[in-house]
């Protein structure tokens, strides 16, 4: 087709570039059952590995007898910590600077901990063999309550750390203490509290939960003993990091390890870390020379690989009588379970929790976090969250409501009064961040106008009066959340994982006929990168997105990157993509100048090619330029048209949003119904609005689940409760509310395309909106703070305690 | 290898007759995925809660993770691999899921589409509430269901010869 027969608008539309609701490329295979997930991999001679797990949360392992299992035909081996010690892999480093047992080394620290790895010809036999491994345990006193972890008589959990008075993040003050993280100005904070007109103080807990993607964690390790090469397929959100860790641990040179993350069935933070299953599968394949598959079942997933949250936040705000906040003080008790396996950038023991000042202009603040060990599973992963930002957003958004209640102010008005103003950006927060951009008042006002907020408050007042008169058994809550996210980890000056700076990368190759293959260091788990990354390239270099193939997850072909989590893909890799594309465009400009026999400065970019300024008829499309790049490049210029970019972000990005939840609660049943949920997001430049809205729907559904019932609970004996979908709340289509989405656009000033990232915003902002709605509903009956999760049984109990039940 | 006695099994899968010997304890999902290499149906929970393994069996929606392969002897089964026409044309549901952005990671999608397929046979013109109740046995962690509902409405409209005007949201 001759480009010039099309209008500029038609040529732009043909690109399906940024801003377009492009249909997803991935869906073509997924809707036909042709996705390729780890468990779909079959290899000749493949063995199956499975774990013997501890029924006890804290016990000595006295003896492991595998003889009955080994006698079963088809069982190849049973690995224990003693076997792993031979290859120095009985323990492995965690991302948080701790070490974790791969297989129980003398004792177990949580229920379902990995004790032995059974290797068999098929998965049924592996399961049979597990039942035949005899393990003798001696039970030890169990520590479940984090608030008792530092009692003088608390049991010693980590015997390997006895006598160690400091850890990866500084001094330890007790045998179950991991770290103290102290940020901000304590003296000025104390002074502000001393001088305050009004203060609030509340213990705000964010309970333990789990990301629970529909596909569990799994891998296939295949060691080629002849070549000395290891191929590792796995559910990896960060395949390159896994390759580096696998090389460091196994001593196989990194170039002889091929890590491939195929299609991933959701991640949500669950698939960032390295787990015992990966290590055992690799060791088993090295030992046997046969491929080894390890696939978690759901109970294993929920009870062992990576819990999230479990933060207990004592929160205080100081304010003036008029509602102006003057100081924030937060102490967090962080329950890390048996090992500190938090998936945070290495220097951040509590992630970016110091975003806890939120969207408000706190002149001073002080934060301290104490991490402790308990007899629970390790983890502390960022469940659709940028490293403890969900906890921080919940903390401040709940606390602002509590302050509003104490002041007798409307919570929307209190927020409006204290927002960081548009003219204050870039804004230095009291706890050390530089917020890039925002217009909080605009977003809040838009949300309030859309919902007719004042009328809702009036309705609520009338319903409260009707309730008091006994005319209704229903109470109404309006939950507000105005969150500020911090995503895009991150700048090398302060973000690394095990020493590797958290840059990201893109490589773009334009083929002679003008089509493109592009590879990135990120890895989609449903975010639709194959679709959206092509849109960025399409806009930048004028080649239709349908002619651009995006490939991620193969560490042999993709440039090194730190992967996809913490909403970092768009802020970091998205920038790398734009900059790599711009390198291509710059070279293309030189080629076009040569072809048109003009100076490159006489050319201007026009949608999909270069044209001579003032003479648009004289132009070369990118397709023509691509051919010339291979066929007849300008004298002295290297042929070809490709570029690589590694992007080290200068700053984080700070998406934000205004979320409102309108809820009705039946006090006699505790059943809460979400009448309306409105989510306004500002994620800067919007690459694909359809995908953004899909992300928001999904994140809100997770937020709804977490706030309203999803929990990994332990009983007093340390038994993990709710480790199956029978007990762990995942909402169905019936419970899930209808979502209303909206947006404002405040581009990031430091990002090449102004995009900020959005995937996690709805989880971060959604949870406080739901919880604030519940709390707002009960506030007029005399409650100040109700702990999550807000399932019907708990809400009924709250109503009963407040004397509101029939 | 296992010394458990093998049982003969004959069934029709996606229109093709299949004959095999299987262990009596082999789950139908493993038979489909590993013996027949039909990896569209997935395993998400092993307890019938998530529905990623949903197939059509004799006109009913069945979670193939909690049924033995031998129980399917003589049955007619459709999996996601059998949804498109022989010439490769996608079914209305497959098209609807893409048009309405009814999927993200794709893991629940084969089960969700197969469930919707039977739902629309039972109720060709369902309301939103009927769709939501109808897919309550299938969990999705990514989409929040809103666009899945639209995808099914799209397919219902298309199968009835009507235009579906709404966009994904």
Give a yes or no: residue A394 inside a domain: yes
Same domain, A472 and A335: yes
Same domain, B97 and B74: no
Same domain, B107 and B141: yes
Q: What is the domain extent for residue B69?
A: 7-82
ipTM confidence score: 0.98
- How does pLDDT run across A182-233, given as a tens digit for each residue? 999 999 999 999 999 999 999 999 999 999 999 999 999 999 999 999 999 9
Cβ <8 Å between A739 and B80: no
CA-nearest of A135, A127, A133, A116 to A67 is A133
- How does pLDDT run across A268-289, given as a tens digit for each residue? 999 999 999 999 999 999 999 9
Q: What is the domain extent for residue A287?
A: 38-140+216-264+271-303
Of A26, A123, A726, the CB nearest to B47: A726
Asked if residues A743 and A557 have their Cβ atoms less than 8 Å apart, the reply is no
Cβ <8 Å between B83 and A265: no
Same domain, A252 and A108: yes
Asked if residues A468 and A460 have their Cβ atoms less than 8 Å apart, the reply is no
Same domain, A551 and A628: yes
Give a yes or no: residue B2 inside a domain: no
**What's the pLDDT score for residue A5?**
83
Same domain, A47 and A106: yes
How many domains does chain B fold into?
2
C-alpha to C-alpha distance for A89 and B160, rounded to whole angstroms: 61
Q: How far B165 CA lies from chain A's nearest CA (Å)?
A: 16
Same domain, A595 and A688: no
How many domains does chain A fold into?
3
**What's the pLDDT score for residue A1?**
44
Cβ <8 Å between A733 and B1: no
3-state secondary structure of A24: coil
Give a yes or no: residue B14 inside a domain: yes
- Structure tokens that stand for B133 in this block: 């109740």
Task: For residue A120, give the chain B residue with the closest CA.
Answer: B1
Same domain, B103 and B147: yes
Task: For residue B109, give the chain A residue with the closest CA.
Answer: A31
Q: Residue B63 has what DSSP assignment? A: E
C-alpha to C-alpha distance for A691 and A24, rounded to whole angstroms: 9
What is the C-alpha R_g of chain B? Answer: 16
Cβ <8 Å between A214 and B42: yes
Same domain, A518 and A554: yes
Give the distance from CA A198 to its chain's centroid.
Answer: 36
Cβ <8 Å between B49 and A212: no
Q: Which of B53, B82, B111 is the last residue of a domain?
A: B82
**What's the pLDDT score for residue A102?**
98
Give a yes or no: residue B164 inside a domain: no
CA-nearest of A303, A312, A293, A350 to A40 is A293
Q: Is A473 a catalytic residue?
A: no
Cβ <8 Å between B139 and A214: yes
Q: What percent of chain A has pLDDT over 90?
A: 97
Q: What is the CATH number of the domain that holds A113?
A: 3.90.1170.50
Reply yes or no on whether the pLDDT at A439 is more than 60.
Answer: yes
Same domain, B73 and B99: no
Same domain, A724 and A767: yes
Mean pLDDT along residues A718-738:
96
**What's the pLDDT score for residue A4?**
64
Of B25, B42, B105, the CB nearest to A525: B105
Same domain, A46 and A117: yes
Identify all chain B residues contacting A694, using CB atoms and an 8 Å cutoff: 101, 104, 142-143, 147, 168
3-state secondary structure of A487: strand
The dihedral region occupied by A16, where left means phi > 0, alpha psi between -120 and 50, and beta the remainder, is left
Q: Is A237 a catalytic residue?
A: yes
Mean pLDDT along residues A635-659:
97
- How confident is residue A3, by pLDDT bands cut at 50, 70 and 90? low
**What's the pLDDT score for residue A386?**
86
- How confident is residue A717, by pLDDT bands cut at 50, 70 and 90? very high
C-alpha to C-alpha distance for A77 and A71, rounded to whole angstroms: 10
Identify all chain B residues contacting A265, using CB atoms and an 8 Å cutoff: 42, 44, 105-107
Give a yes or no: residue B75 inside a domain: yes
Q: Which of A647, A678, A713 is the last residue of a domain?
A: A647
Q: Is A111 a catalytic residue?
A: no
Identify all chain B residues contacting A264, using CB atoms and an 8 Å cutoff: 105
Same domain, A336 and A453: yes
Give a yes or no: residue A430 inside a domain: no
From the candidates A237, A525, A527, A695, which is the catalytic residue?
A237
Q: What is the CATH number of the domain that holds B63?
A: 3.10.20.30
Residues in chain B with pLDDT values less than 70: 1-3
Q: Is A760 a catalytic residue?
A: yes
Give a yes or no: residue A497 inside a domain: no
Of A26, A526, A733, the CB nearest to B149: A733
> Cα separations (Å) of A235 from A266, A573, A656, A795?
9, 20, 30, 38
Same domain, B77 and B98: no
- How does pLDDT run across A339-373, given as a tens digit for each residue? 999 988 989 999 999 999 999 999 999 999 999 99
- How does pLDDT run across A382-402, given as a tens digit for each residue? 999 889 999 999 999 999 999
Task: For residue B139, give the chain A residue with the closest CA.
Answer: A732
Cβ <8 Å between A698 and B132: no
Give a yes or no: residue B169 inside a domain: no
**What's the pLDDT score for residue B1?**
47
Cβ <8 Å between A266 and B109: no
Give a yes or no: residue A160 inside a domain: no
**What's the pLDDT score for residue A806?**
79
CA-nearest of A52, A96, A88, A67 to A382 is A96
Same domain, A657 and A638: no
**What's the pLDDT score for residue B2?**
56
Same domain, B34 and B73: yes
Identify all chain A residues contacting B95, using CB atoms and an 8 Å cutoff: 31
Same domain, A466 and A357: yes
Task: For residue A123, give the chain B residue with the closest CA.
Answer: B30
Reply yes or no on whether the pLDDT at A2 is more than 60.
Answer: no
Q: Residue A141 has what DSSP assignment? A: -
Q: What percent of chain A has pLDDT over 70?
A: 100
Identify all chain A residues contacting B54, using CB atoms and an 8 Å cutoff: none
Give a yes or no: residue A771 inside a domain: yes
C-alpha to C-alpha distance for A753 and A539, rounded to whole angstroms: 10
Best A21, A24, A25, A30 residue to mutate vs chain B (most B CBs within 10 Å): A30
Same domain, B32 and B99: no
Same domain, B36 and B102: no
Same domain, A607 and A659: no
Give a yes or no: residue B145 inside a domain: yes
Give a yes or no: residue B165 inside a domain: no
Give a yes or no: residue B167 inside a domain: no
Q: What is the CATH number of the domain that holds B121?
A: 1.10.150.120
Report DSSP letters for A422-437, one per residue: GGG-SEE-TTS-EE--
Identify all chain A residues contacting B81, using CB atoms and an 8 Å cutoff: 32-33
Give a yes or no: residue A291 inside a domain: yes
Same domain, B58 and B104: no
Give a yes or no: residue A415 inside a domain: yes
- How confident is residue A771, by pLDDT bands cut at 50, 70 and 90? very high
Q: How far A626 CA lies from chain B's nearest CA (Å)?
A: 32
Q: How far B74 CA lies from chain A's nearest CA (Å)?
A: 24
Same domain, B65 and B98: no
Q: B146-159 and B92-99 are packed helices; what angle lies between their axes, rounded to 10 degrees?
A: 140
C-alpha to C-alpha distance for A492 and A480, rounded to whole angstroms: 35
Q: Which of B82, B116, B136 is the last residue of a domain?
A: B82
Same domain, B13 and B77: yes
Q: What is the CATH number of the domain that holds A682?
A: 3.30.365.10
C-alpha to C-alpha distance for A593 and A635, rounded to whole angstroms: 12
Give a yes or no: residue A659 inside a domain: yes
Q: How far A658 CA lies from chain B's nearest CA (Å)?
A: 18
Cβ <8 Å between B41 and A33: yes
Cβ <8 Å between A32 and B33: no
Cβ <8 Å between B106 and A263: yes
Same domain, B70 and B12: yes
């Amino acid at each position: 087709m001759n480009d010039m027969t099309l209008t500029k608008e038609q040529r732009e539309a043909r690109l399906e570039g940024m801003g377009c609701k492009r249909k997803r490329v991935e869906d073509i295979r997924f809707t036909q059952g042709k996705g390729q997930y780890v468990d779909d991999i079959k290899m000749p001679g493949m063995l199956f590995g499975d774990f013997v797990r501890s029924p006890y949360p804290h016990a000595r392992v006295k003896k492991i007898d595998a003889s009955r299992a080994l006698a079963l035909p088809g069982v190849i081996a049973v690995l224990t910590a003693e076997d792993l010690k031979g290859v120095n892999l009985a323990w492995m480093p965690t991302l948080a600077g701790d070490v974790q047992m791969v297989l129980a080394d003398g004792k177990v620290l949580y229920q379902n901990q990995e004790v032995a790895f059974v290797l068999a010809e098929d998965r049924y036999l592996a399961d049979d063999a597990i039942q035949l491994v005899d393990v003798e345990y001696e039970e030890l006193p169990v520590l479940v309550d984090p608030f008792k972890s530092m009692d003088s008589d608390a049991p010693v959990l980590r015997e390997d750390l006895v006598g160690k008075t400091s850890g990866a993040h500084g001094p330890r003050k007790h045998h179950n203490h991991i770290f103290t993280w102290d940020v901000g100005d304590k003296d000025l904070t104390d002074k502000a509290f001393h001088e305050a007109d009004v203060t609030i103080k509340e213990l705000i807990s964010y309970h333990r939960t789990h990301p629970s993607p529909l596909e569990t964690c799994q891998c296939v390790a295949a060691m080629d003993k002849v070549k000395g090469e290891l191929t590792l397929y796995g559910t990896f959100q960060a395949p390159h990091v896994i390759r580096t860790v696998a090389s460091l641990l196994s001593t196989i040179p990194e170039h002889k390890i091929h890590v491939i993350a195929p299609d991933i069935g959701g991640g949500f933070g669950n698939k960032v870390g390295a787990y015992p299953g990966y290590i055992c599968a690799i060791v088993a394949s090295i030992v046997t020379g046969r491929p080894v598959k390890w696939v978690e079942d759901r109970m294993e997933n929920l009870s062992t690989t990576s819990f999230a949250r479990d933060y207990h936040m004592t929160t205080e705000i100081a304010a003036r009588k008029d509602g102006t906040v003057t100081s924030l003080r937060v102490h967090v008790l962080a329950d890390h379970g048996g090992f500190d396996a938090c998936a945070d950038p290495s220097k951040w023991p509590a992630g970016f929790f110091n975003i806890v000042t939120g969207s408000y202009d706190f002149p001073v603040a002080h934060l301290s976090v104490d991490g402790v060990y308990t007899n629970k599973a390790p983890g502390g992963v960022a469940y659709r969250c940028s490293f403890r930002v969900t906890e921080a957003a919940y903390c401040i958004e709940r606390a602002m409501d509590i302050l509003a209640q104490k002041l007798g102010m409307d919570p929307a008005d209190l927020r409006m009064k204290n927002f960081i103003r548009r003219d204050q950006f870039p804004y230095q927060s009291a706890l050390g961040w530089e917020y890039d951009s925002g217009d909080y008042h605009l977003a809040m006002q838009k949300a309030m106008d859309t919902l007719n907020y004042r009328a809702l408050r009036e309705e609520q007042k009338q319903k409260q009066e009707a309730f008091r008169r006994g005319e209704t058994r229903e109470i109404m809550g309006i939950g507000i959340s105005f969150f500020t996210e911090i995503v895009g980890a991150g700048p090398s000056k302060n973000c690394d994982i095990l020493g590797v700076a958290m840059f990201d990368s893109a490589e773009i190759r334009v083929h002679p006929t003008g089509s493109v293959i592009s590879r990135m260091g990120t890895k989609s788990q449903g975010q639709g990168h194959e679709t959206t990354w092509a849109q960025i390239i399409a806009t930048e270099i004028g080649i239709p997105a349908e002619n651009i193939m995006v490939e991620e997850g193969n560490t042999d072909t993709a440039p090194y990157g730190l992967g996809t989590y913490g909403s970092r893909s768009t802020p970091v890799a998205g920038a790398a993509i734009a900059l790599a594309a711009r390198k291509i465009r710059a070279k293309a400009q030189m080629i076009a100048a040569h072809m048109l026999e003009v100076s490159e400065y006489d050319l201007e970019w026009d949608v999909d090619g270069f044209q001579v300024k003032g003479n648009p008829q004289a132009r070369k499309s990118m397709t023509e330029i691509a051919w010339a790049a291979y066929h007849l490049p300008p004298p002295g210029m290297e042929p070809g048209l490709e570029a690589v970019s590694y992007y080290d972000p200068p700053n984080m990005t700070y998406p934000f949003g205004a979320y409102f939840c309108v809820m009705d609660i039946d006090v006699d049943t505790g059943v809460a119904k979400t009448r309306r949920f409105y989510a306004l997001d500002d994620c800067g430049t919007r690459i694909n609005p359809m995908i953004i809205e899909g992300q928001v729907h999904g994140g809100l559904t997770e937020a709804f689940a977490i706030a309203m019932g999803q929990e990994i609970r332990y009983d007093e004996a340390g038994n993990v409760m709710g480790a199956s979908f029978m007990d762990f709340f995942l909402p169905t289509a019936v419970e899930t509310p209808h979502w209303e989405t909206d947006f404002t656009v405040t581009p990031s000033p430091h990002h090449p395309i102004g995009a900020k990232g959005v995937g996690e915003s709805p989880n971060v902002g959604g949870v406080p909106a739901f919880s604030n709605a519940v709390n707002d509903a009960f506030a007029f009956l005399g409650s100040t703070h109700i702990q999550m999760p807000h399932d019907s049984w708990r809400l009924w109990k709250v109503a009963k305690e407040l004397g509101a039940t029939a | 290898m296992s010394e458990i006695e093998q049982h003969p099994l004959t069934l029709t899968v996606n229109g093709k007759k299949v004959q095999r010997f299987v262990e009596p304890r082999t789950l139908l999902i493993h038979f489909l995925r590993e013996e027949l290499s039909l990896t569209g149906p997935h395993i998400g929970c092993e307890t019938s809660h998530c529905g990623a393994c949903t197939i059509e069996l004799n006109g009913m929606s069945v979670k193939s993770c909690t049924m033995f392969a031998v129980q399917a002897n003589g049955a007619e089964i459709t999996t996601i691999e059998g949804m498109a026409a022989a010439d490769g044309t996608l079914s209305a549901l497959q098209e609807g899921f893409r048009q309405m952005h009814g999927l993200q990671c794709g893991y629940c999608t084969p089960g969700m589409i197969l469930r919707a397929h039977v739902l629309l046979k039972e109720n060709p013109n369902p309301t939103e509430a009927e769709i939501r109740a109808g897919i309550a046995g299938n969990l999705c962690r990514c989409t929040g269901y809103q666009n899945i509902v639209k995808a099914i409405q799209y397919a219902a409209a298309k199968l009835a010869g009507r235009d579906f005007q709404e966009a994904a949201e």
